[in-house]
Amino acid sequence: MSTCTIFAGGKLNSTDFINPQEIAQNSDFIICADSGLRIAEKICITPDLIVGDFDSYTGELPEDIEIYRSVPEKDDTDTLMAVRIALDRGYSDIRLYGGLGARFDHSYANIQTLIFAHENGGKMTIYDSENILTVRGAGEYEFPHKPDWYFSLFALTEKAFIGKLKGVKYPLESYEMSIAYPIGVSNEITADKAYLRINSGLVLVIESKK
């Protein structure tokens, strides 16, 4: 699975959790979406592509890097544009940094972008210093235990049928999760790993530091 790392312009409390060497080694392609370039510059990462309308990044753009310019009056957010390009170029494992932050509208838009990536054959994950977000559809999944982290599940479709959730403080079995009821919040992985089987629907998985 080819990996693309994207830096967006969301607010990060800290970049200490980002390992530039690990990103450079594990990324086949790196995109900065508009002011996500500031994050890359701060951790000394050189992107392969910069995209956006550049309404939030006001510095000088490098001349030796591919740039895709858009206009401010567009349907796609800069981050969604970056994800589209990543998928179009064959990168199916997408890792987004700076996708959450002070503006909740952009944070929610990036959760919708998780769904977009999933529905277009990609596996996308959003990272910040205190959260890891991903979307899962029908299938079986395992999540390793992280000390002092919560493990929450939310239905993204009207109903999501959970066949089994075990290895957690509050297990579920044959449970129909509703988009209108947050029963899956603030769970915890108590075993070495959690096992999740989704029979139908889409589920947002959020791992959060306590």
Quick: pLDDT tens for 2-60: 999 999 988 777 788 899 999 999 999 999 998 889 899 899 999 999 998 877 767 77
Rounded CA separation 110/133 (Å): 10
**What pTM, to 2 d.p., does this model score?**
0.93
Rounded CA separation 138/166 (Å): 16
Please tell me the predicted confidence (pLDDT) of residue 133.
98
Tell me the H-state helices in the chain. 20-26, 36-42, 78-88, 104-119
List the domain boundaries for the chain: 3-129, 136-209
Lowest-confidence pick of 57-71, 116-130, 150-164, 186-200: 57-71
Lowest-confidence pick of 53-62, 63-72, 129-138, 171-180: 53-62
Lowest-confidence pick of 30-39, 71-80, 104-113, 187-196: 71-80
Burial of 19 (0-12, 13-18, 19+ CB in 10 A): exposed
Biggest alpha carbon–alpha carbon distance for the chain: 56
Half-sphere exposure of 199 (CA within 13 A, CB side): 12
Rounded CA separation 103/92 (Å): 27
- The rounded Cα 53 to chain-centroid distance in angstroms is 21
User: What is the crossing angle of helices 104-119 and 78-88, to 10°?
Assistant: 20
Rounded CA separation 49/34 (Å): 10
State the pairing for strand pair 139-144/193-200: antiparallel
Name the pLDDT band for 88 (thresholds 50, 70, 90). Answer: very high
In this prediction, residues 115-119 reach a mean pLDDT of 97
Region 136-209: CATH code: 2.60.120.320
Q: What residues have CB less than 8 Å from 22, skipping those under 6 apart?
A: none
- Which CATH superfamily does the domain covering 3-129 fall into? Thiamin pyrophosphokinase, catalytic domain (3.40.50.10240)
- Provide the mean pLDDT of the chain: 92
Q: For the chain, how far is it from start to end, CA to CA, in angstroms?
A: 31
State the pairing for strand pair 149-155/139-144: unpaired
Cβ neighbours around 33 below 10 Å, total: 30
- Residue 172 reports pLDDT greater than 90: yes
